[in-house]
Structure 1
Amino acid sequence: MSQVPGGLAAQYVGGRRVLLFSFLLWSLTCAFAPLDAGKVNMMVVARFLVGVAQGFIFPSIHTILAQWVPPHERSRSVSLTTSGMYLGAAGGMLVLPSLVKYKGPQSVFMVESALGIMWSFLWFRFSSDPVRSEHPKAAAAGFGEHNLPVSREKKIPSAGNLRRFTKIPWKKIIFSLPIWAIVVNNFTFHYALYVLMNWLPTYFELGLQLSLQDMGSSKMIPYFNMFIFSNTGGILADHLITRRLLSVTKTRKLLNTIGFVIAALALMAIPLFRNPSWTVICSSISLGFLALGRAGFAVNHMDVAPRYAGIVMGVSNTAGTLAGIVGVGLTGRILEAAKSADMDLTSIECWKNVFLIPAYLCIFSSFFFLLFATGEKIFE
């Protein structure tokens, strides 16, 4: 629920300030989260606050990148920035279980809080708003002193004048097919991601009869693979665009299609193998190529609407978050229905639809993006 408000806040106040507020809020909430059986309601409130705070992060990031990054650097900038969450997931998979074992569950919250607060200090110390048109990065991105995207009157002390905020074209955003191409692919990306993140451990435990404790570092491979492929896609996209080998539109469509189609094939293959090693390989390929596809749809916000990148990202990421709610819940119902029908949770048939649904969504989304996406600016 906080994605679109996060985009609006970044538009009005500036992504730098909103991002700092977001990190401080969820970091402090983690620090004071009570792991007490008698304080369940307080834990629910803490989880709510963390969700609200983190909903501001991606709209703020895209607002900042749209202001600072010129078009020929957007793909690798977005890919590098967002790939941190995959590296964090891989590191968490490797380190946090041992931390819980030796220091208790509260230590996880304290470590995450400390990392967030340290990052906030560095961000406060070294980040800045692109308020001056003479700054080379701001000028190259097209967001100088007189054309920074804003939506109300605001005094800029360094400029010594008033800057007029532009009206946000909500109707055009809602009814734009290129925007819907981004939204549909964001939904599919997160549907597949959340299903694999939440249910793949259960598949190993129940479907393959393999304890996660016995998997060692192999359980972090899919997320580390996402980090590698995400950055590979960003570098490749910028190379194709700057070398004029392909237009921005064709580059976005090419990488999005390759990523989503190969991910779909890998998802279809997961239930066919009863070998844990092949399951790790297939899930790694699937998540890796989904991350590669982000060089298509996830950068496209800044192509079509650089002035409103945070808001469009908020709309798109709302669909992505809803995909997690729908995908995780639907998967649970599929397995419950199979169990009610006296199907063994170790059988292939029981798990086939769990992986086929995101696979079919990937194929549908790739065609939708091919038909309606563009790399041209559609919002002035």
Structure 2
Amino acid sequence: MNDVLFGTKFTNTGLKLKGKQVRTLTNKKMTKVRYGIVFMLFITVIINYMDRSNISIAAPFISDELGLDSVQMGLIFSAFGWTYCALQIPGGWVLDKLGNRKTHAYGIAGFSLATLLQGFVSGFSGFFLLRVGLGAFEAPAFPTNSKVAASWFPENERARAVSIYTSGQFVGLAFLTPTLVLLQDSVGWRGLFIVTGIIGIAWAILWYLYYRDPQHSKRINKAEYDYIKEGGAIVESSSDKNEPSARKIGKKDFAAVLSSRKLWGIYLGQFAVTSTLWFFLTWFPTYLVEYRGLTFIKSGLLASLPFLAAFIGVLSSGFLSDFLAKKGISADVARKVPVITGLLLSTSIIGANFVESNSLVILFMCIAFFGNGFASITWVFVSLLAPKRLIGIAGGVFNFIGGTSSIIIPIVIGFLAKGGDFAPALTFIACITFAGALSYLFLVGKIDRVQDYVESESYSAKL
């Protein structure tokens, strides 16, 4: 039965309550709950990077007060990356077992507590162990972001969603650093860790209270639910024990995500994307000061420009990709072209080897990092290619291989630049990004989902 109330069309859904038929009115206008979800992911990414980068602000004061030398500080810096990479695959397994809501809530609370406790340490061992803990609890973060986006967004909007929350890392790096400097100036380095830790714990509580997957959300209406599900969002019913998602994760599942050519194409492509990122996170300011002769303050101001370019790049890539998808352009063009184009633009970093003007150096760096941002919608391929049941594990492998760049790139660049010439290091980065573009062209191939062996076994059993 249909009704019209104040010019709005409603439908009698006929729900039952305590054995009685209850007539309910459901507004057919689609809700926009998914936009609030992507904003929550955006804030989560900013908090991720706030807790990763606060130690770079506090480092000089920590080493002075605690009497730590450069070797000890280097070990503390590296502690995050080692555990973050090592636990990517286990983190994906945890995600597939606990689900989006609990994984993010526990993870954010865990790494925020590790951050807060850094404000109370008295020596090297305490700092090292807490940074190890920070990396461990952050490990499932981006696989969870990807799975949340896959749950809440139809395929023709997913690249936009990924680009919005991914831009949080560039917003954090470009704008958050001055804020953290002012915070430390006000409350000291210990207060910096305590305040940022409290912010994260508060956000973990808010996430747990307000986030629900679409099938459990009370805020989404049927119109939006049907829209995202029919558009390819991965909405699963936890009540159906016969669904593949209810099966235990085993060795065959890990083998499945490690044996696919398509998935290896995006794994290697992600290493290429994150390699450029880690150059800018580690060596770029040193390059400007020691190899280009800029003052520390001037280099700090100029170093923010490529991050702004990357921020513009990642947003424009996501919106362009979804625009092409909505126009009916194939996924091979709408999804792959921005990533391949971005990786090819990143090779322009090599141009800095052939110019003397610092302005031109910054220009090449901005183009390269814009390209890096433009290619950063790569997470969309995890949800498009991985078996639906194994998105968490595939995302863990994807982020693990990408995360190894945080260890490999700084070390290799340091070796290449040891003789006082930085040109080989920039050439190295350009070659990696070019190889990443080739992996999307020749390894990923056509965009279609990798067959789940469980579904194949079920199909064979029916024959």
TM-score, scaled to structure 2: 0.71
Aligned to 1:15: 100
Does 2:293 correspond to 1:209? yes
Aligned AA (1:327): I
Determine the C-alpha separation between the residues in 1 that align with 2:301 and 2:176: 11
C-alpha displacement at 1:102, in angstroms?
4.5
Q: Structure 1 residues 289 and 313, CA, compared in 2 at 3 Å: closer, same or farther?
A: same
C-alpha displacement at 1:253, in angstroms?
2.5
* Structure 1 unaligned spans of 5+: 149-155, 339-344
Aligned to 1:67: 151
Aligned to 2:189: 105
1:1-380 pair list within 5 angstroms? 1-34=86-119, 38-131=122-215, 135-136=225-226, 139-140=229-230, 141-146=232-237, 156=239, 165-166=246-247, 169-215=253-299, 217-244=301-328, 246-265=329-348, 267-295=349-377, 297-305=378-386, 306-336=388-418, 338=419, 345=420, 350-373=421-444, 374-380=446-452
Aligned AA (2:409): G
C-alpha displacement at 1:72, in angstroms?
1.0
> 1:130, 1:138 within 8 Å by CA — same for their partners in 2?
no
> 1:260, 1:362 within 8 Å by CA — same for their partners in 2?
yes
Q: Which has the larger radius of gyration?
A: 2
Aligned AA (1:3): Q
Aligned AA (2:434): I
Question: What is the CA deviation profile of residues 151-176 of structure 1, one whole-angstrom value per residue up to 9, with x for unaligned ones?
Answer: xxxxx5xx8x7766246533332111
Determine the C-alpha separation between the residues in 2 that align with 1:68 and 1:379: 22
The structure, 1 or 2, with the larger RCO (C-alpha pairs under 8 Å, 6+ apart) is 1
> 1:93, 1:219 within 8 Å by CA — same for their partners in 2?
no
> 2:119, 2:194 within 8 Å by CA — same for their partners in 1?
no
Question: What is the CA deviation profile of residues 4-61 of structure 1, one whole-angstrom value per residue up to 9, with x for unaligned ones?
Answer: 111111111102211111111111111110465x511000001000011111101111
Cα RMSD, aligned residues only: 2.3
> 1:257, 1:293 within 8 Å by CA — same for their partners in 2?
yes
TM-score, scaled to structure 1: 0.86
Determine the C-alpha separation between the residues in 1 that align with 2:292 and 2:144: 41
Q: Structure 1 residues 100 and 212, CA, compared in 2 at 3 Å: closer, same or farther?
A: farther
> 2:271, 2:405 within 8 Å by CA — same for their partners in 1?
yes
Aligned AA (1:14): G
> 2:270, 2:436 within 8 Å by CA — same for their partners in 1?
no
Determine the C-alpha separation between the residues in 1 that align with 2:290 and 2:351: 18
Aligned to 1:341: none
C-alpha displacement at 1:73, in angstroms?
1.1
C-alpha displacement at 1:367, in angstroms?
1.3
> 2:92, 2:395 within 8 Å by CA — same for their partners in 1?
yes
> 2:310, 2:369 within 8 Å by CA — same for their partners in 1?
yes
Determine the C-alpha separation between the residues in 2 that align with 1:172 and 1:216: 45
Q: Structure 1 residues 224 and 114, CA, compared in 2 at 3 Å: closer, same or farther?
A: farther
> 1:86, 1:223 within 8 Å by CA — same for their partners in 2?
yes
Q: Structure 1 residues 248 and 163, CA, compared in 2 at 3 Å: closer, same or farther?
A: closer
C-alpha displacement at 1:81, in angstroms?
1.3
Question: What is the CA deviation profile of residues 169-198 of structure 1, one whole-angstrom value per residue up to 9, with x for unaligned ones?
Answer: 333321111101101011111112112210
* Structure 2 unaligned spans of 5+: 1-85, 453-463
> 1:303, 1:376 within 8 Å by CA — same for their partners in 2?
yes
> 1:258, 1:289 within 8 Å by CA — same for their partners in 2?
yes
C-alpha displacement at 1:258, in angstroms?
0.9
Determine the C-alpha separation between the residues in 2 that align with 1:4 and 1:145: 22
Determine the C-alpha separation between the residues in 2 that align with 1:25 and 1:116: 9
C-alpha displacement at 1:215, in angstroms?
4.1
SS at match of 1:128: coil
Q: Which moved more, 1:23-32 or 1:61-70?
A: 61-70
C-alpha displacement at 1:262, in angstroms?
1.1
